[in-house]
Amino acid sequence: MKKMTRERKLLIWITVADCVLMVIMMTSYSYIGSHDSYVKFGPHDDTVLMGLTIDTWPKYIGSVVFLIGFIAFQTCREVYVYPWVMNNVYDDKTLCINQFTKGEVNFIVNGNYASDGLWYMIGIWMVTSQIDFALIKWITSAIANYLVVRRRYLSKKSYGDIEQGVGGNLFYGFPPATEY
């Protein structure tokens, strides 16, 4: 077994404590504030999302589908576009970007910067309308992040796995990302 260094213990402890505190906080607020319209679940006359009253199940399901698509798209941008911009455009060591023209790079950087603000406002609008939208966003973000990290991480090895002879696959039963 890998020796628990101070840094490893701290990172694991902070992650576990963060998750536990969030669950405690969400449970406490939903129990204490159950009379508030924000803490209700499902369609209600009080739920207004971007000017639309979400009072029927079709409107509610449509809003949830939009929210899930929004989060999946946002995760793709955070995982694929932002690292590319940071490693190719903002990194002073990168002197040449061969695969794009200057106009395309300008469009990618500034287009994502401009749309990021709009997506951020829509995200805040959705998660502040009702707690179930916030929970759906949280769960969908966690799942999307897990899938992306799994896809990227499985092709790499960690020193702890090499020492244990595992071979770098932390998620047993799943093929490495290079096989997709």
pLDDT digits (tens, 9 = 90+) for 38-67: 667 778 887 877 788 888 999 989 988 988
CB 140 within 8 A of CB 123: no
pLDDT over threshold 70, residue 37? no
Mean pLDDT value across the chain: 76
Q: Is the pLDDT of residue 2 over 80?
A: no
Do 161 and 169 touch, CB atoms closer than 8 A? yes
Q: How is residue 65 written in tokens?
A: 């589908």
pLDDT (0 to 100) of residue 169? 45
The more confidently predicted of residues 35 and 108 is: 108
- C-alpha 85/C-alpha 75 separation (Å) is 15
Place of tokens 């963060």: 18
pLDDT digits (tens, 9 = 90+) for 127-147: 777 777 888 888 888 888 888
Q: By three-state DSSP, how is residue 40 classified?
A: coil
What residue ranges do the domains of the chain occupy? 33-73+120-179
170 pLDDT above the threshold of 60: no
